[in-house]
């Protein structure tokens, strides 16, 4: 399947950003890293940043004692860590080993032990790239990345982007970037390799479904600017609202943009609405709830969040929407993830919309983002999202379209969009 839409925009998008040490906020998408990091920053700072490991001959080595609730005390001896650190410093063939890189690498390794692809630690540089992507403007190839079977894949190239022009397709598995093997790397690490100044080239080695050999695709980077919501006007009385992502500079900015688009649509007196969520990787969770309120009556259940202790919080519509009675079609595909799935699932559960397209991505977790004074950040999965039917949204329980319509490579090459055409036909019949 080839999606005709979308840029890179990983699932963890903040609802607000604070730069105080240890401050945090909930991601609304997803999309796409706690107490252990408090230990990391406090414990390692005095030992590494000054350029000294801090262990002299005969000095007792450190050990970390941890206690689990309702469990017996366990002990973790940190001798091994410091021994490896000192061995690298004294024996590695290159003398100019960066202690900061070792430090960040150690934290990344610790976080990877969670074995969750969207629980990650980002260096200051990676955090900056992440924030630029969420703002909808950056320099790179213009493609949304995700995970599939433990491999980083192209979820959706952006329409008109260098990624599409070069021939990259949804579902392509990224194996190497400029010859660097990226198997086992996080999405953020792969993005760091793909990003670069516009006008520069990057060679991406991909494996494509149905083909026996890998492909080297050269992409010339460009400046990517992506509006989060666009209104495409009406045709034959049908309004098309294209939501690329549920994020802007703030949740307030997103809601304001959404409201202005709805106002523009209403001014055209549409007889039907197409809400295009194809390739939408998510964004603010609250934005999805807000958008649901445009179509569902007050009090309608949108989703439930559950934490590690089983505590639940139910989110319902709390306002009077402006599009309650207009026939609605929602378009989804394999690039629709997180908050976009929440919205589509709620509208489907309440029989408010006809869902057309392909099975969605299946991301039903939310990440908490913790910012640190040096500009780094920790993204950690803290919540699960449960659909109104009581089922957890995940890769095995995705949003199934009411009418499955595929968008093939041939359709794309010929400028055809059978999914949109199916949506128009359905609304015309209403």
Q: Out of 176-180, 215-219, 279-283, which region has the weakest mean confidence (pLDDT)?
A: 279-283
**Separation CA 32–CA 80 (nearest Å):** 32
For domain 229-366+380-429, the CATH class is alpha beta
Structure tokens at 207: 């494996």
The values of phi and psi at residue 276, to 5°, are -95, 110
Backbone φ/ψ region at 329: left (φ over 0), alpha (ψ -120 to 50), beta: beta
Give, in words, the CATH class of 137-225: mainly beta
DSSP 59: P
Q: Which two tokens stand for residue 283?
A: 């964004």
Domain ranges of the chain: 36-51+60-107, 137-225, 229-366+380-429
What radius of gyration, in Å, describes the C-alpha atoms of the chain? 23
- Residue 176's closest CA among 215, 214, 204, 216? 204
Give tens-digit pLDDT for 165-214.
Answer: 999 988 899 999 999 999 888 887 898 899 888 999 999 999 998 888 99
Contact present, 32 and 372 (Cβ < 8 Å): no
Dihedral of alpha carbons 206, 208, 213, 217, sign: negative
Per-residue model confidence as pLDDT tens digits over 117-174: 889 999 998 888 777 766 666 788 988 787 777 789 987 787 778 998 999 988 899 9
Per-residue CA distances from 368 to 8, 16, 107, 336, 365 (Å): 20, 11, 17, 21, 10
- Angstrom distance (rounded) from CA 151 to CA 184: 7
User: What tokens appear for 79 in the block?
Assistant: 């001798």
Checking DSSP bridges between strand 173-177 and strand 180-181, what pairing results, if any?
antiparallel
How many other CB atoms are found less than 10 A from the CB of residue 47? 16
pLDDT of residue 7 exceeding 60:
no
Which sign does the torsion angle of CA 281, 287, 289, 293 carry? negative
Give bridge partners of residue 27 from the DSSP assignment: 14
pTM: 0.68
Provide the residue count of the chain. 430
Higher per-residue pLDDT: 116 or 7:
116
Query: What are the tens digits of pLDDT across the range 23-45?
Result: 332 333 333 322 222 222 222 22
> What secondary structure letter does DSSP report for 56?
-
């Amino acid at each position: 399947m080839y999606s005709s839409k979308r840029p890179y925009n990983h699932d963890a998008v903040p609802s607000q950003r604070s730069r105080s040490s240890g401050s945090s906020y909930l991601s609304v998408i997803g999309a796409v890293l706690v107490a252990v990091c408090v230990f990391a920053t406090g414990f390692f700072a005095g030992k590494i940043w000054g350029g000294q490991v801090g262990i002299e001959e005969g000095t007792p080595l450190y050990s970390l004692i941890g206690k689990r609730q309702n469990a017996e005390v366990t002990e973790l001896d940190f001798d091994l860590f410091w021994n490896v650190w000192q061995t690298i410093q004294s024996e590695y063939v290159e003398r100019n080993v960066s202690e900061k890189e070792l430090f960040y690498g150690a934290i990344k390794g610790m976080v990877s032990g969670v074995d969750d692809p969207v629980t990650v630690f980002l260096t200051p540089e990676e955090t900056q790239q992440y924030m630029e992507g969420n703002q909808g403007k950056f320099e790179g190839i213009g493609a949304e990345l995700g995970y599939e079977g433990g491999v980083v894949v192209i979820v959706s190239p952006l329409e008109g982007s260098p990624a599409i022009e070069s021939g990259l397709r949804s579902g392509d598995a990224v194996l190497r970037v400029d010859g660097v093997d990226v198997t086992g790397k996080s999405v953020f690490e792969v993005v760091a390799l793909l990003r670069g100044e516009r006008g520069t080239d990057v060679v991406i080695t991909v494996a494509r479904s149905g083909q026996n050999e890998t492909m080297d695709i050269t992409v010339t980077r460009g400046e990517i600017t992506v509006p989060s919501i666009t209104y495409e006007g009406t045709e034959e009385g049908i309004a098309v609202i294209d939501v690329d992502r549920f994020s802007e500079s703030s949740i307030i900015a997103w809601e304001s943009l959404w409201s202005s688009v709805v106002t523009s649509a209403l001014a055209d007196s549409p007889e039907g609405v197409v809400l295009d969520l194809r390739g939408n990787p998510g964004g603010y969770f609250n934005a999805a709830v807000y958008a649901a309120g445009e179509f569902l009556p007050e009090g309608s259940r949108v989703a439930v969040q559950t934490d590690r202790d089983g505590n639940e919080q139910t989110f319902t519509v709390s306002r009077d929407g402006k599009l309650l009675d207009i026939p609605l079609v929602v378009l989804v595909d394999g690039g629709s993830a997180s908050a976009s799935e929440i919205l589509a699932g709620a509208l489907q559960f309440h029989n408010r919309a006809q869902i057309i397209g392909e099975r969605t991505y299946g991301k039903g977790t939310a990440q908490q983002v913790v910012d640190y004074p040096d500009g780094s950040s920790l993204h950690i999965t803290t919540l699960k999202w449960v659909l109104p039917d009581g089922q957890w949204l995940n890769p095995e329980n995705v949003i199934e379209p009411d009418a499955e319509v595929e968008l093939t490579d041939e359709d794309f090459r010929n400028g055809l969009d059978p999914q949109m055409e199916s949506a128009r036909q359905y609304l015309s019949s209403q």
